[in-house]
Amino acid sequence: MKKVIVVFPALLLFSACYSFRGISIDPNDQTFFVQTFENVAPNAPPTYAIDFTEQFKQKVRTETRLRLQQESPDLEFSGQVTGFNVVPIAPKPGEVVARNRLEIRLRVSLTYKDEKRNWPNPRDFSYFAEFGNDQDLLTIQDQLIREINPQLLEDVFNAAFNNW
């Protein structure tokens, strides 16, 4: 019984700085904000940057203890959608492409109130999903985005909170 009494407070103290998911957040950081991402990719759907921004806010809200706050947050994300491109990846004889790849690229900045912890430069992230040449991009675009976004969200989240 004494071991439980000693271990439980130690776990509570330990979890203030670290979660079992591997997230490392300074105990002094309580709030965050995500500026609406800017869409500079000419082929991206008009609402993609806004949708990604909202998904990222939701991920940080649900997977950290940080509270969303627009005024004077402890850490702030900003970014751009820099690429939304279809690339042929599996050429067949006769200059026909068997498969295509939709690749989405982001550039993300992270700034803290304590400027010593800022990312020194924006970081680039990209991920893709493949589709056949018999499929029209506009028909399956939303499905491809649903396949790509979870990995992009995880990559940005890990870079910010897991020191990746």
Q: What is the pLDDT of residues 117-164, one digit of tens each?
A: 899 999 999 999 999 888 999 999 999 999 999 999 999 999 999 865
- In the predicted structure, residue 94 carries a pLDDT above the cut 80: no
Q: Which residues of 35-72 are buried (b: 16+ CB within 10 A; e: fewer)?
A: eebebebeebbeebbeebbeebbebbeeebebeeeeee
Contact 133, 96 (CB under 8 A): yes
What global pTM score does this model have?
A: 0.82
Task: Assign domain 25-161 to its CATH superfamily.
Answer: Lipoprotein like domain (3.30.160.150)
- In the predicted structure, residue 19 carries a pLDDT above the cut 50: no
Q: Measure the CA–CA gap between 95 and 1, rounded to whole angstroms.
A: 73
The per-residue pLDDT of the chain, averaged, comes to: 87
pLDDT band with cut points at 50, 70 and 90 for residue 9: very low
- In the predicted structure, residue 30 carries a pLDDT above the cut 70: yes
Percent of the chain with pLDDT over 70: 83
- In the predicted structure, residue 10 carries a pLDDT above the cut 80: no
- In the predicted structure, residue 84 carries a pLDDT above the cut 60: yes
Q: What pLDDT shows up at residue 70?
A: 95
* Mean pLDDT for the stretch of residues 57-84: 97
Q: Which of the two residues, 72 and 116, has the higher pLDDT score? A: 72
pLDDT band with cut points at 50, 70 and 90 for residue 68: very high
Q: What pLDDT shows up at residue 20?
A: 40
- In the predicted structure, residue 21 carries a pLDDT above the cut 80: no
* Mean pLDDT for the stretch of residues 52-64: 97
Q: Measure the CA–CA gap between 104 and 86, rounded to whole angstroms.
A: 9
